[in-house]
Amino acid sequence: MSAAGRYAPSPSGDLHIGNLRTALLAWMFARGTGRDFRMRVEDLDRARSGSAERQLEDLAAIGIDWDGDVVVQSARRSRYADALASLRNRGLVYECWCTRREIAEAASAPHAAPGAYPGTCRNLDDAERAARRARGRPPALRLRAAVDTFTVHDVLAGDWTGLVDDVVLVRNDGTVAYNFAVVLDDGDLGVDQVVRGDDLLSSAPRQAYLATVLGLQPPTYAHVPLVLGPTSARLAKRDGAVTLRELTAAGFTVADVVGMIADSLDLPGVRTAAGLLAAFDPASLPRDPWTFTPTPPRSSSCGQGRVPVR
């Protein structure tokens, strides 16, 4: 399978300009290094009717293309079940009944590793497990990790060593956990380059370690700066017109939106994805967050280039 990069939105609503910027960066990193580009819909957790279709329309509208069919996580449940069974057979899965509150309290105890699961349920004996099952609360399933830290390579951050703990593989409601699903998805699709927001850098060592446990090669990462709203918090829908459809309804063209993203990447005057790709140099990528404040529409053809609205 060809080496590939990817973009993997969750269909919980329309993509905002920060999501579109990260998608363009992932696409440019992949295309600029001769990789395929895969698209995946991560719908295991939250999925709003029609959202996936609208997201794909928006991504295509700004000039992003992808190779092969769109992969949908909910269609891969049997793959996750098979991988989980293999880990069980190797003795690498255990049941965990801890609540969020119990984990938070344990993590705040003296000498606890910040943010790490403390291993409360890791070594329960048969009687202790039976007692917890009798309470009626379904358990989550965790990986029995053999390391505490793992080092990944990030194109922007360099070698980065972070915490590894006993990550959740399946939540107590039966939903396959994000870390487990994305590692399998990337491995199966030949994804060897993951570009995403730098708020996820701390997750990379856990995911890379899990990949090795599953017999997969961890990808190379590029964690790019986030987009912030006017209050300097992470950009969100509450910040006003931030989605492509909202911006085009306000008079911006698709080219205007791509141009704003280009400006944020220190590539002024570029107004197409193809132009961005031709000018893109990862070494020149700004390392600070971009605060999004839309300027008045520059196009005289107000409303042209809108995304088809279903």
Binding-site annotation, residues for L-glutamate: 6-10, 42, 178, 196
Which residues are known binding-site members for ATP?
237
Q: Tell me the two tokens of residue 84.
A: 């989980």
Q: Tell me the two tokens of residue 176.
A: 């396959």
Q: In what order do the strands lie in the sheet with 4-7?
A: 4-7, 36-41, 71-72
DSSP for 99-147, written as a single string: -HHHHHHHHTSTTPPTT----TTTT--HHHHHHHHHTTPPPEEEE--S-
Tokens 């107590």 -> residue: 172
Q: Which of 266, 265, 256 is nearest to 302 (CA)?
A: 256
Which residues are known binding-site members for Zn(2+)?
96, 98, 117, 121
Which residues are known binding-site members?
6-10, 42, 96, 98, 117, 121, 178, 196, 237
Alpha helices (H) in the chain, listed in sequence order? 17-32, 51-61, 77-89, 100-107, 126-134, 178-188, 204-213, 244-249, 254-264, 273-279
